[in-house]
Amino acid sequence: MEILVCAKRVPDTSENEIELNRAGNDIQRDDLVYSVNEPDNYAVEEALQIVDRAGGSVTVATVGGEDDEEILRREMAMGAKNAVLLSDEAFQGSDGRGTATVLKAFVQKRNFDLILTGVQADDGAAQVGGMLAAMLDYPFASLVTSIEVVEGRKLKVSREIEGGNKEINEIDLPCVLSIQTGINEPRYVGMRGIRQVASVPIPTLDAADLGVDAGHVGERAAKVKRVDYFAPPVGKGAEMLEGSREERIDQLIELVRAKGGLK
Amino acid sequence: MPRIFAYIVHKAGVLDDSAAELLAAAGRIDAAQSPTAVATGWGTELDAACEALRSSYAEIWKIAHEALAYPNAELVRKALLNVVPKGSILLVPHNHFGVDLSPGLSVNMNAAFVPDVLDIEGVTGTALKLVRQEFGGQVSAHVRCDISSGSVINIRPGAFKPVDSVQVAGQISEMPAGNLGGAKRRYLETVVAETGDVDITKHQILVSIGRGIQEKENVAIAQELADALGGAVSCSRPVVDAKWLEKSRQVGSSGQTVKPKVYLACGISGSFQHLAGIKGNPFIVAINKNPKAPIFRVADVGIVDDILEFMPEMTNRVKELQHA
């Protein structure tokens, strides 16, 4: 099975506190540590496990710039055989639709049986996979928590739904699935693995290579634009307990007791 | 102003809370307009849902088809595409179903799509100005959406408070489902969540842990505090993803809904999916070393500290007081 995983390089929220800049209209971008979007690692791991069972190979692609090569290498170190950078000035400022348009053009150049994305990225949009599927007229399932390859070019997938329940679906190949975290345990990638792929050339495809009409992507084509960032409203806000740790513990125990949570 | 539609989620004939929330959201886009509810399904369950909508929505479009008895997003997309006019604004809850339905639907409708909307600032010309969050709720963002060729707007559950609307005697119109054959994705069954060794929904006090617990060995620290307090340990999604606790311990829209008296959120950032699982207005205590963690916005009491040091000391103090 030929599998494409669409990945994204994002600010790593486990390494950074995301804060507003001085002007208060953008996030503070100096010294941000970037890494691969966490759900995308689960998608790559799942693709590798499917290939282990059913044969084929895994390709990882991202829409971005030179800086984004590092995540492609990381996913190659995990075991992805091929990586491709989809990069063109014309792609900059794309909304979800624009990104999906670029990926669609790439998919149409190749032959993939299965396309995986992480469930969502830093912007929490969870949109590109579903859009890509619609553009290709492929079936789509989101929030996927298990994949089983069955006979006759079909998969049996479970989706996460409310209350911890699972929805089981049969889906025809080719299809697009968005992968939920927790579906597997992504393998560890050490420095040695990264070094082994450090000098592997990564092909770059631009708008002309992909046959993408520059008028359909990028900032000018985007119907959805982020205007600015701002500090979230505080709401009622918590009463912050102050003092030494001992004092705060005593205050907290008193409060918990008063609320009936402690006998 | 384009016509506004609200996609109604219902189950066993009962309306989801989002039905009233989308009505409130529609009012924020255009207060002068009465939005149209669109409900898909089959049989007596759909009948009951449509009947329930009559008290709040003036117009209800009912799409009945046996193939829609279970809301398979692929088929619902086809049905909506068949009836919703081009250029409309369609509101959908940003839940497990809306995430499945809407991105593809927006492409099919050639409409703009904005996911997970928390607030609506209004329309200027063809620009709809909305509020979202990014980075797990650490920052908010204003988003401008060009609605000139239609739009699909996914609304975060719980973000819009239902408004007290005047009683209306809504009109139900039967709409054609169109051809729903040839599905490439077929619903097979729903597997109900397994109950674990501990039922967190039955406890009055929960010591709930998140990513801040850092490693599996540290779960014992939370267990000791829960034991001292006479409660149980629950958790947020990353703890289950890392296989440190069973899925049955997860609080959130994809896990359990809990109604404790006291909820100690320890090292939990506070995503909306997690908060959606906390009901019954408990006393929420947030303990987190990041003072900017979104959990502090919803907690009653906050403590900025390292949970791995705070929890053991609290355990000791609780035991001391019990033995005093």
**Touching check for A135 and chain B: CB below 8 Å?**
yes
Q: Are residues B166 and B232 in the same domain?
A: no
B170 in any annotated domain = yes
Nearest to A171 among B185, B204, B260 (CB): B185
pTM given for the model: 0.95
Choose among B216, B99, B170: nearest CA to A159.
Answer: B99
Mean pLDDT computed over A32-59: 97
Of all residues in chain A, the one with the smallest CA distance to B307 is A245
Mean pLDDT of chain B, nearest integer: 96
B211 contacts in A (CB within 8 Å)?
A: 14
Q: Please check whether residue B181 lies inside any domain of the structure.
A: no
**pLDDT at res. A263:** 61
- Provide the domain count of chain B: 2
> Taking CB atoms and an 8 Å cutoff, what residues of chain B touch A181?
237-238, 241
- How much is the average pLDDT of B201-229? 97
**Does the pLDDT of residue B44 top 80, yes or no?**
yes
In A, which residues are within 8 Å of B97 by CB distance? 161
Q: Are residues B121 and B263 in the same domain?
A: no
The domain containing residue A164 runs over which residues? 2-221
What pLDDT does residue A261 have? 62
Residues B114 and B223 in one domain: no
Q: What is the pLDDT of residues B101-141, one digit of tens each?
A: 999 999 999 999 999 999 999 999 999 999 999 998 999 99
Whether residues B118 and B61 fall in one domain: yes
Candidate from B97, B107, B298 with C-beta closest to A235: B298
For testing contact with chain B, the best of A115, A219, A224 (most B CBs within 10 A): A224
pLDDT at B146 over 70: yes
Residue B74 has pLDDT above 70, yes or no: yes
Mean pLDDT of A46-51: 98
Instruction: Check residue A15 and give its pLDDT.
Output: 79
pLDDT band for A14, please (50, 70, 90 cuts): confident
What ipTM does the predicted assembly reach? 0.95
Number of other residues whose CB lies within 10 A of the CB of residue A89: 11
Q: Are residues B240 and B99 in the same domain?
A: no
Domain membership flag for residue B184: no
Given pLDDT bands bounded at 50, 70 and 90, which one contains residue B71?
very high
Contact assignment for B255 to A163 by CB distance below 8 Å: yes
pLDDT tens for residues A223-233?
999 999 999 98
DSSP B256: B
Are B303 and A241 a contacting pair at CB < 8 A? yes
% of residues, chain B, pLDDT over 90: 94
Identity of the residue in A122, A123, A262 whose CB atom sits nearest the CB atom of B230 = A262
Find the closest chain B residue to A260 by CA distance: B261
The range of the structural domain enclosing residue B313 comes to 200-323
Using an 8 Å CB-CB cutoff, list chain B residues near A165: 190-193
Does the beta-carbon distance from B313 to A249 stay under 8 Å?
yes
What are the pLDDT digits (tens) for B175-213? 999 999 989 999 999 999 888 889 999 999 999 999 999
Cis peptide before A232 (omega within 30 of 0): no
Handedness of CA B65, B67, B72, B73 (dihedral sign): negative
For the segment B53-68, the average pLDDT, to the nearest whole number, is 97
Q: Kindly state whether residues B151 and B217 are assigned to the same domain.
A: no
B283 within some domain:
yes
Verify that B163 and B37 share a domain, yes or no. Answer: yes
B223 assigned to some structural domain? yes
Q: How confident is the model at residue B167 (pLDDT cuts 50, 70, 90)?
A: confident
Q: Are residues B144 and B15 in the same domain?
A: yes
| Model confidence pLDDT, tens digit, residues B302-319 | 999 999 999 999 999 999
Interface check A152 vs B, CB under 8 A: no
pLDDT > 90? residue A236: no
